[in-house]
Amino acid sequence: MAPGGHPMHRANATARAAFKASLPTIRDYAESPGIPGCACKMVLGRPCGGAARLTAADAAEAVRRVTEDFLFVGSQDHFRASVALAHAMLAPDLPPDYAKQVETTSARHGYTRADRDAAVANLTGYVDACDEALYAAGLALFEARCARYGVPVDGNAHESWKGERPPEARETDAARLERRSAKRARAEARERLKRDAAGARGGSSVWTRTAPGFERRDHCARGAAWIREECKKDAAA
């Protein structure tokens, strides 16, 4: 990741690959210029990847803004509670639709638990002073507001919500066979139509392949429309 303001943010693929190769561990990346203090920089209105180092005064101002100026503060480590708190504070008459929140904020990424554990182990002893102070202040404010509004603080939603996703419907063998048979029948019908149309014109009809289906170059508009509809059904199946 090369955030906005970072020299590699809009670099070409070769430069980005070289940048990645120069940082063999996640700690090397975390300590590289432009990466530390991203959250503080954004709260202060600066680019996340800007190379300027933050001072203690900058960190204090970022904490002040979050605790005094922000209308709402949530935590992605407690996403369900954040949704509930947002409703309690800003829309108390509107109940949260947790199913929709799971659907639209799914945290499926390319990392496994083992990947995460390895990364955390690699970061042992690393401190991003500005961002950690900001996170601690934001989390304390979040937890205090949850207590005030009676919102229970859950565990990491990225993990705890996975088990609540409704199971995806699995196609039965009979349904799969029926779908394939219908698709095959439509394909055979299209071929018959093409052969019949070509025979009616002495074998001189020309067909071209145009999405979403076949279309004749003569005036057989009815047949062409039928073929297009059948191809749409195939694509949907």
pLDDT at 191: 79
Q: How far is C-alpha 157 from the geometric centre of its chain's CA atoms?
A: 15
Cα separation, 146 vs 25, whole angstroms: 37
Question: Could you tell me the end-to-end alpha-carbon distance of the chain, in angstroms, rounded to an integer?
Answer: 38
- pTM for this prediction: 0.57
Residues 6+ apart with CB under 8 A from 108: none
Candidates 193, 183, 173, 189; CA nearest to 235 is 183
Q: Following DSSP, what letter does each residue of 197-217 receive, concatenated?
A: HHHHTTT---EEEETTEEEES
Residues 9-59 have pLDDT tens digits of: 777 888 878 888 888 888 888 888 888 889 999 999 998 888 888 899 999
Cα separation, 225 vs 3, whole angstroms: 50
What token pair was written down for 74?
């949530």
Domain ranges of the chain: 13-164, 173-236
Count other Cβ atoms within 10 Å, centred on residue 131.
19
Identify the segments of the chain with pLDDT beneath 70.
98-111, 155-173, 175, 197-228, 230-231, 233-237
What's the farthest any 2 CA atoms get from each other in the chain? 87
What token pair was written down for 17?
């690959």
Cis bond upstream, residue 212 (ω within 30) = yes
pLDDT at 163: 44
Candidates 205, 201, 212; CA nearest to 235 is 212
pLDDT at 122: 77
DSSP 35: -
Pseudo-torsion of CA 226, 229, 231, 237, nearest 10°?
Answer: -140
Cα separation, 15 vs 13, whole angstroms: 6
pLDDT at 21: 83
pLDDT at 19: 81
DSSP 218: S
pLDDT at 211: 42
pLDDT at 90: 93
Residues 6+ apart with CB under 8 A from 122: 25, 26, 27
